[in-house]
Chains A and B, each alone.
Chain A
Amino acid sequence: MSESDIPSAYVREKRSPAPSREELRARIPGWGVDLDPADRPSNPKLLHAPDTGARWDFPERQPEHRPRERSIEHAFVTPVFGTAQPLKGASGAIRRLAYARFSEGRLAHWMLLVVGDRVDAVEHHLRSFATLRPDVPATGVRTELTHGGLASRRGRVDARHHVLDPLVVGGPWLVAAGAAVVGVRRLVRAARR
């Protein structure tokens, strides 16, 4: 390797300087219009926002019709909060514990919430089987046929674990169905005895 072949990383300046301003402007519409870092909308970082539209220093409080869970890193329930899907059932109890006992800094907080999510889903799946709209392992899958499922995946890295997807999605359902069948059989057998 002669000296002029030594890559940029090992010498003082980049061997191939960036194209000129004129060249870039000709090729890319708008090149450099936001060149000045001081004149970009997110600078400075702690800008005192001029007028956000807020006419209050602390907003009026939204009425709390039922006690609401909150992070214990908060001094109180925030003045405005979401009221969608209030805590309910076994999943609600798990989530309530996660909020009441552990800060966001504790892994236990998040793991309990994850467990709460899975319990919530199971509670609803079971209930859905008694309705006209039972849950299915995954929705929207008919697009695999209508929107080129196989053709779209050619040459992609996810083709490697594509076979895993039905297992990840359907596996727990198969296990649950299996367990249900075994359970029902045992009950039937016990009843016959």
Chain B
Amino acid sequence: MRAMVYRGPYKIRVEEKDVPAIEHPNDAIIRVTLAAICGSDLHLYHGLMPDTRVGHTFGHEFIGVVHEVGPSVQNLQVGDRVMVPFNIYCGSCWFCARGLYSNCHNVNANATAVGGIYGYSHTTGGYDGGQAEYVRVPFADVGPAKIPDWMSDEDAVLLTDATSTGYFGAQLGDIAEGDTVVVFGAGPVGLVAAQSSWLMGAGRVIVVDHLDYRLEKAREFAHAETLNFAEYDDVVVELKKQTDFLGADVAIECVGAEADGNLLQHVAGAKLKMQGGSPVALNWAIDGVRKGATISVMGAYGPIPNAVKFGDALNKGLTLRMNQAPVKRQWPRLFEHIRNGYLKPSDMVTHRFPLEEIPEAYHVFSSKLDGCIKPLIVPSAA
């Protein structure tokens, strides 16, 4: 089969690989029909995630058709169209039993500090991902779900990560009616977080980024006010001015390790890899909210320590909440919201690339060229 393969930082290519095999009785093999590149893939692509091995196939946002099932699989049949949450999880460990699907203890031998994720380095378990023609899906009775007939492929693939994560991010913000919510990052995750904030009763939503074309999307798609941080010497002061010197009631950080806006932090964190990513947006969130506020962090960071302004967080009495999103827990509600037209994930798709051109797709998405918001990958066998 054809598969995206990592060759080292900034280098990927498409190679011929063996079709994955059933390795556990509850495995399934899925033939991928549509995949996406996520902002999280960029951390791997830039070499920020420890134990990313040459030869690894990325991709944790994908849908497909069941190609083969292991002997104990009961909920899926060959030929079913399925959407697969980015989390790999067993459904029965201490954490899964409590709904923390993204923190499963039975699937990641390499680390206890993170659960299992498809195509996301050995630090999340060493599973090849879905930017390929076929992918091994463990615990096929637990993670995947059949795609409802009325749902488009694009909405389905975006529910496997970006949409569920943005919505989850808004939930961790503990939004109360009338709250002013500031969302850092106008990528797919931030755009959905902004939309979801309204559903949870926000009174005002402000989206911060430096990419004008994405801020335009935030205004039109998420009905938000926007702030281009490149236009201000100091975003934190601007946020205070815009909130009558209180600061926002809630911040949702949807940027993560590649954050820009502070040359030193960005170069040290994202370029020279001297910390687990650049916490510029996280620090702006800490300083830009009011005292007693809640910060929800969806942006991903590596396991190496970061220069985070923890003292300010303590002195301001902030609540910091964060996790990898437990995707499937969000689905029943999100299906309703999509059906009702409150959320339209497919509106974020700007590009489609055939699998063979995935090196180009990564460069365009990583460098934010050509108005790119969400690129989809179409495998040739699809």
Contacts and interface: CB of A to CB of B under 8 A. Distances in A.
A158 B176 CA distance: 35
B299 to A, nearest CB: 17
Contacts of A37: 174, 176, 200
A167 to B, nearest CB: 9
Contacts of B342: 29-30, 33
B289 to A, nearest CB: 12
Contacts of A141: 363
A82 B128 contact: yes
A178 interface: no
Contacts of B23: 62-63, 83
Give 6 closest A-B pairs by Cβ, nearest first. Answer: A18-B203, A140-B363, A30-B342, A54-B91, A82-B126, A52-B91
B106 A59 contact: yes
A107 B113 contact: no
Interface string A111-146: 101101100110111001000010111111111101
29 contacts: A8-B246, A10-B245, A18-B204, A30-B343, A31-B201, A33-B342, A34-B200, A37-B174, A40-B333, A47-B99, A52-B142, A57-B92, A62-B23, A73-B111, A79-B90, A80-B24, A80-B90, A80-B107, A84-B56, A104-B111, A110-B50, A113-B123, A117-B53, A133-B13, A140-B12, A143-B364, A157-B261, A158-B260, A161-B267
A45 B266 CA distance: 34
B246 A9 contact: yes
A98 to B, nearest CB: 8
A193 interface: no
B379 interface: no
Contact of B367 (A8, A45, A74, A149): A149
Contact of A9 (B10, B88, B290): B290
A147 B126 CA distance: 33
A contact patch SS: loop
Interface residues of chain B: helix, strand, loop or mixed (majority) = loop
Interface string A16-38: 11110000100111111111010
Contact of B122 (A48, A82, A155): A82
A17 B25 CA distance: 58
Contacts of A147: 360, 364, 369-370, 372
Nearest to B176: A37
Nearest to B240: A9
B: interface residue count bin = 35 or more
Contact of B361 (A110, A140, A152): A140
A7 B303 contact: no
Contacts of A116: 51
A133 to B, nearest CB: 7
B2 interface: no
Interface string B213-235: 00000000001000001100000
A19 B126 CA distance: 49
Interface in B105-137: 105-113, 116, 122-123, 125-128
